[in-house]
Structure 1
Amino acid sequence: MELNPVFARRLYLALLVEYTERPNVPRLIEQTGWPRRTIQDVLKALPSIGIELSFIQDGRRHNDGYYTLSDWGPFDLEWIKAREPDLLAALAS
Structure 2
Amino acid sequence: MELNPVFARRLYLALLVEKVERPNVPKLIELTGWPRRTIQDVLKALPGFGIELSFIQDGKRHNDGYYQLSDWGPFDLEWVQSREEDIVSSVSS
For the criterion TM > 0.5, the same-fold answer is yes
The number of aligned residues is 93
- What's the TM-score, normalizing by structure 2? 0.97
Aligned to 2:85, the other structure's residue is in SS state helix
Match of 1:80 in 2: 80
Gaps of 5+ in 2: none
Percent of paired sites with the same residue: 81
Match of 1:10 in 2: 10
Give the Cα–Cα distance (whole angstroms) in 2 for the partners of residues 33 and 9 of structure 1: 12
Residue 65 of structure 2 corresponds to residue 60 of structure 1: no
Q: Which runs of 4+ in 1 moved over 6 A?
A: none
Give the Cα–Cα distance (whole angstroms) in 1 for the partners of residues 22 and 51 of structure 2: 18
Match of 1:91 in 2: 91
Match of 1:49 in 2: 49
Give the Cα–Cα distance (whole angstroms) in 2 for the partners of residues 22 and 91 of structure 1: 22
Give the Cα–Cα distance (whole angstroms) in 1 for the partners of residues 92 and 62 of structure 2: 34
Pairwise CA RMSD: 0.6
